[in-house]
Amino acid sequence: MTKRAAEKLFKFLDIYETLRDFIPLVDRIFPVSYADELKAEATLSRGRLGESMVSIFSELENSIQGDSNKTPVPGGAVHPLTRYIMNYLKYVGEYRDTLEQVFREHQMIERADSATGSDFDCQNPQAGQSNHHTSSNKLSPFETHMIKVMDLLDSNLEGKSRLYKDTSLSSIFMMNNGRYILQKIKGSPEINSLMGDQWYRKRSSDLRQYHKNYQRETWGKLLQCLNHEGLNVNGKVNKPILKERFKSFNALFDEIHKTQSSWVISDDQLQSELRVSISNMVIPAYRSFLGRFSQTFTPGRQTEKYVKYQPEEIETDIDELFDGNATPWGRKKL
């Protein structure tokens, strides 16, 4: 009778389980004259609780679809909606068996209401039901709802990722949220087994693709500055073009460092993986370019002007990315 807020699901589940466990004991506790009436009332109440819980799940799905907040999360961090839904589902997983029962019973009641001559037994709602594991391709009603919730969350996050003007930051946002979701799923045996290995592999593959998109958009552009094409003319290094390549590299790397040091990756493993992959992509290419062309400049002031970074300095700066605490000048305070 009250508003069916998502947080009430767990209170309803507790009451539902209590009633479910109480009904078989009625005949042993009360005289026959009271037992039948008590069982009927308890069964009716349990049924209404089940309807309310199914309704709460529908409202959860609607709330995800209706979350149209247009304010991007600073630094591409994990979105509050992701945290709320995944922590909610983690607790839902602890009641998986009961919710499987609730959704199966609700489906049977719906079928009984729509089919003439149904033999649905309100005193024994599990009678005649089939095990949802008998067919590997057929999902139970609860599994169907859970997968729908996850799909809706994915769609919502994809929409929110488009709020970022920087496509690299969009990829960081999707990596952050995707990793958070996978970690929560992995940490809940009930939900992990429900979603299945195929779902997990698909989401892991999506994460790798966001990683590749990020590398291409950010560091692929930087590596273009180290392209050897056009630098050698008639066996000699074209010094003006070489100067321009070093200047472009320095300016772009400074901009990347300044911008992405304020971006956020809270998962330590993901942060480390990204930094390592960036170093493996940039450092060898820069070291090779430096070794081949730095001697072209006159030692001293000219070299210092164009060769702004040594490979070790580049690596140090890469290790400062994604901390979310850059200064206005793009370098962390010591």
pLDDT digits (tens, 9 = 90+) for 79-89: 999 999 999 99
Q: Are residues 272 and 185 in the same domain?
A: no
Spatial distance between the Cα atoms of 95 and 17, rounded to a whole number of angstroms = 10
Residue-level length of the chain? 334
Residue 313 lies in a domain: yes
Q: Are residues 200 and 301 in the same domain?
A: no
Spatial distance between the Cα atoms of 209 and 205, rounded to a whole number of angstroms = 6
Residue 132 lies in a domain: no
Q: Are residues 78 and 190 in the same domain?
A: yes
Residue 330 lies in a domain: no
> Would you place residue 9 in the very low, low, confident or very high pLDDT band (cuts 50, 70, 90)?
very high
Spatial distance between the Cα atoms of 287 and 226, rounded to a whole number of angstroms = 10
Task: Please give the tally of structural domains in the chain.
Answer: 2
Residue 20 lies in a domain: yes
Domain, as residue range, for 272:
225-318
Whether residue 265 is predicted with pLDDT greater than 90 in this model: the reply is yes
Which region among 3-12, 244-253, 315-324 has the lowest average model confidence (pLDDT)?
A: 3-12
Q: Are residues 309 and 181 in the same domain?
A: no
323: DSSP letter: B
Residue 323 lies in a domain: no
Q: What is each CA distance from 88 to 49, 64, 331, in whole angstroms?
A: 19, 13, 38
Q: Which residues pair with 237 in a beta bridge?
A: 232
Residue 41 lies in a domain: yes
As a whole number, mean pLDDT of residues 52-64 equals 91
Whether residue 219 is predicted with pLDDT greater than 80 in this model: the reply is yes
Give Cβ neighbours of residue 318 (< 8 Å, ≥ 6 apart). Answer: 275, 278, 279, 282
Torsion angle of C-alpha atoms 287, 289, 290, 291, degrees rounded to 10:
80
Q: Are residues 61 and 152 in the same domain?
A: yes
Q: What is the CATH number of the domain that holds 238?
A: 1.20.1280.170
Q: Are residues 53 and 200 in the same domain?
A: yes
Q: Are residues 53 and 85 in the same domain?
A: yes
pTM: 0.85
Residue 23 lies in a domain: yes
Predicted local distance difference test score (pLDDT) of residue 310: 92
Question: How is 35-56 classified by DSSP, letter by letter?
Answer: HHHHHHHHHHHHHHHHHHHHHH
Q: Are residues 231 and 283 in the same domain?
A: yes
- Give the pLDDT confidence of 285-303 residue by residue, as tens digits: 999 999 888 888 777 777 7
Task: Supply angle C-alpha 116, 117, 123, rounded to 5.
Answer: 120
Q: Are residues 200 and 231 in the same domain?
A: no
Residue pair 327/333 in contact (Cβ under 8 Å)? The answer is yes
Residue 125 lies in a domain: no
Q: Are residues 183 and 88 in the same domain?
A: yes
> Would you place residue 229 in the very low, low, confident or very high pLDDT band (cuts 50, 70, 90)?
confident
Query: What is the sign, positive or negative, of the torsion defined by CA atoms of 120, 122, 126, 127?
Result: negative
Mean residue pLDDT across the chain? 86
